[in-house]
């Protein structure tokens, strides 16, 4: 058996998410088909993060297992030829055959891009928020997320989870040009958690949600809190699975945009 | 009469270029329709640069003339509502009614993005070149373009031009992450000139074209030279009308990517 580690970038716009489904186009479905074509044998594929429909990835990681030896020479080119243009394998390399992308991961980080202006070039990669945003208030809210908290209020279908407790290692906000960026790193995430946290942070940034109300969401995962957070759910277009981190790999670098929106009028005042 | 100056950003992928045409979707056609809807009166529209099919703009400039007074209040929002999502008016403001976007311009600058890797997120905004590129050789070629030269070899249908002489004020190459960027500024450009210059610079970068052969293209606009340059024409996806400069406006800032392709694997080595 051969196990490959794949580092994968994709634009999620056209897909019903990562996970394979019958009768729906998914990233894992396209990737497995391309791998089987490129390797010439059946492949078992597993990803580190199950991104939802429309969510992008800068660095999804997957394991691909195939019987026998994988023809590694020229694999990058065969994969590029077999994949649609919105999925790209950044690297494919043979690893210890027991490597499991999801189980072996120390943490995942997600990046969210809020744009403060309409953008013709990056519409697929942002959430355009017209209301003015207090970035300092959002940053204070992000600080509150760090540590061990019950994220039941931010979780779709919390009863389906064994636990809604999540240890957030990092949560940060940065204004970069016309974007407000949010990044969160944790060992695992609940379903729709990042998009609901972003929605609540934007409510905080507009002043529609007070600091105490935001704090209360972390203390109260009841039905009313869940319904509020659900109504604020940020759209998938702004969300990127940024990186999956494994033992021995360096920590996250500085927070940067995935697809910046800083040109345009700004270019004139250089 | 009211004349508006419009600064416009667009993704050209879905359009048959800037200029209005019968029976084809063009950027100016969509913009004029949206302006007439937002202003409630007929509009005469003229742009500073006639971008080709598939070419993008970070800062196209246009004048829009309408009889009577334009309702300026709330115009930005009415335009945003009336325009497709891949066209965005960065600013619309009343100016001297004689302002003519094309005639008043001092210079135009175009930016071209060559990507040295396949990219899932920025495919619409680059030309992916698989062959290794010698960036220093390309930069030396770009240096040669500055000044007054006959660009007949780089021009589609040179006989339709009154002259094929162009004064290039600036031509530069920079490697930024996985991109090789090219920027050129001149008072005017010939049809397909930028894309053919980029094609020749890439030939220079791969070593397929020698330094002397490149120089010869600037000295010889004959049929053989034109056929070579035509065969190298770079695709429109990587090209952006970056900026149109008018009297009193500052010079171009540093060369930066329009849509960077620097994340992915690079993120891990931060």
Q: What pLDDT digit, counting tens, does each position of A220-253 carry?
A: 888 899 999 999 999 999 999 999 999 999 999 9
Confidence band (pLDDT; 50, 70, 90) for A177? Answer: confident
Confidence band (pLDDT; 50, 70, 90) for A263? Answer: low
Q: How far is B51 from chain A (nearest CA, A)?
A: 16
pLDDT of residue B231: 94
Residues A171-200: what's their mean pLDDT?
Answer: 95
Nearest residue to B6 via CA among B67, B85, B60, B86: B60
pLDDT of residue B267: 40
Q: Is the pLDDT of residue B59 over 80?
A: yes
Instruction: Answer yes or no: are the C-beta atoms of A81 and A37 closer than 8 Å.
Output: no
Whether B120 contacts chain A with CB within 8 A: yes
> Which tens digits make up the pLDDT trace of A20-39?
999 999 999 999 999 999 99
Q: Where are the alpha helices (DSSP H) in chain B?
A: 27-39, 75-82, 135-145, 193-206, 211-219, 223-231, 265-268
Residues B233-255: what's their mean pLDDT?
Answer: 96
Q: How far apart are CA A245 and CA A37, in angstroms?
A: 29
Q: Any catalytic annotation for residue B7? A: no
Tell me which range, B33-47, B151-165, B252-266, is most confidently predicted by mean pLDDT.
B33-47
Which helix (H) or strand (E) covers residue A267, if one does?
A: helix A265-268
pLDDT of residue A156: 87
| Prediction pTM value | 0.92
Q: Is the pLDDT of residue A93 over 80?
A: yes
Backbone φ and ψ for A184, nearest 5 degrees, come out as -135, 135
pLDDT of residue A262: 53
Cα angle A75, A87, A113; round to 5: 140
Question: Using CB atoms, which residue from B90, B118, B122 is nearest to A264?
Answer: B90
Chain B residues with CB inside 8 Å of A80's CB?
A: 118
B52, B96, B156, B215: which is the annotated catalytic residue?
A: B52
- CA neighbours closer than 13 Å in the CB half-sphere of residue B258: 36
Tell how far CA A41 is from the center of its chain.
Answer: 30
Residues B75-99: what's their mean pLDDT?
Answer: 95
First-residue to last-residue Cα distance in chain B: 55
Q: Is the pLDDT of residue B270 over 90?
A: no
Q: How far apart are CA A217 and CA B222, in angstroms?
A: 73
Q: Do B80 and A118 count as a contact with CB atoms less than 8 A apart?
A: yes
Chain A residues with CB inside 8 Å of B249's CB?
A: 268
> Which tens digits make up the pLDDT trace of A99-109?
999 999 999 99
pLDDT of residue A73: 78
Q: Do B268 and A243 count as a contact with CB atoms less than 8 A apart?
A: yes
With a pLDDT cut of 90, the percent of chain B lying above it is 83
Give the dihedral sign, CA A191/A194/A200/A203.
negative
Q: Do A270 and B263 count as a contact with CB atoms less than 8 A apart?
A: no
Could you report the predicted ipTM of this complex, rounded to two decimals?
Answer: 0.87
Q: How far is B152 from chain A (nearest CA, A)?
A: 31
Whether A59 contacts chain B with CB within 8 A: yes
Q: Provide the 10 A C-beta neighbour count for residue A95.
A: 15
pLDDT of residue B120: 93
Mutate to test the interface with B, among A110, A118, A119, A266 (most CBs of B within 10 A): A118
In chain A, the domains with their CATH numbers are 2-95 (3.30.70.580), 107-252 (3.30.70.660)
Question: Using CB atoms, which residue from A59, A87, A264 is nearest to B59?
Answer: A264
Nearest residue to B112 via CA among B36, B205, B34: B205
Helices and strands of chain A, counted as H and E runs? 7, 10
Mutate to test the interface with B, among A15, A48, A119, A120 (most CBs of B within 10 A): A120
Q: Do A7 and B265 count as a contact with CB atoms less than 8 A apart?
A: yes
DSSP annotation of A50: -
Q: Do A256 and B263 count as a contact with CB atoms less than 8 A apart?
A: yes
Cα angle A176, A85, B117; round to 5: 65
Q: Is the pLDDT of residue A265 over 90?
A: no
> Which tens digits make up the pLDDT trace of B166-209?
999 999 999 988 899 999 999 999 999 999 999 999 999 999 99
> Which tens digits make up the pLDDT trace of A139-156?
999 999 999 999 999 998
Q: How far apart are CA A259 and CA B122, in angstroms?
A: 8
> Which tens digits make up the pLDDT trace of B112-122?
999 999 999 99
Residues B11-29: what's their mean pLDDT?
Answer: 97
Whether B268 contacts chain A with CB within 8 A: yes
Mean pLDDT, all residues of chain B: 92
Chain B residues with CB inside 8 Å of A179's CB?
A: none
> Which tens digits make up the pLDDT trace of B209-231?
999 999 999 988 888 999 999 99
Q: Is the pLDDT of residue A68 over 80?
A: no
Instruction: Answer yes or no: are the C-beta atoms of A204 and A230 closer than 8 Å.
Output: no
3-state helix, strand and coil shares in percent for chain A, rounded to the nearest 5: 30, 30, 40
Residues 151-180 of A with CB under 8 A from B: none
């Amino acid at each position: 058996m051969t196990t490959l580690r794949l580092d994968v970038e994709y634009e999620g716009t056209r897909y019903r998410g990562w996970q394979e489904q019958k009768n729906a186009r998914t990233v894992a479905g396209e990737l497995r088909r391309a791998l089987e074509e490129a390797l010439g044998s059946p492949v078992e594929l597993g990803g580190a993060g199950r991104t939802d429909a429309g969510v992008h990835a800068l660095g999804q990681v997957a394991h691909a297992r195939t019987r026998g030896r994988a023809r590694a020479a020229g694999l990058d080119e065969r994969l590029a030829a077999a994949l649609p243009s919105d999925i790209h394998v950044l690297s494919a390399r043979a690893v210890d055959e027991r490597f499991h992308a999801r189980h072996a991961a120390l943490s995942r980080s997600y990046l969210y891009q809020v744009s403060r202006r309409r953008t013709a070039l990056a519409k697929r990669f942002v959430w355009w928020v017209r209301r003015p945003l207090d970035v300092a208030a959002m940053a204070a809210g992000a600080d509150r997320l760090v540590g061990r908290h019950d994220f039941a209020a931010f979780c779709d279908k919390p009863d389906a989870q064994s636990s809604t407790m999540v240890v957030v290692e990092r949560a940060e906000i940065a204004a970069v040009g016309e974007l407000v960026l949010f990044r969160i790193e944790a060992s695992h995430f609940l379903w729709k958690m990042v998009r609901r946290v972003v929605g609540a942070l934007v409510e905080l940034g507009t002043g529609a949600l007070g600091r105490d109300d935001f704090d209360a969401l972390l203390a109260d995962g009841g039905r009313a809190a869940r319904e509020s957070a659900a109504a604020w759910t940020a759209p998938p277009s702004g969300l990127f699975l940024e990186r999956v981190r494994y033992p021995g790999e360096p920590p996250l670098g500085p927070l940067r945009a995935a697809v910046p929106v800083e040109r345009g009028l700004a270019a004139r005042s250089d």
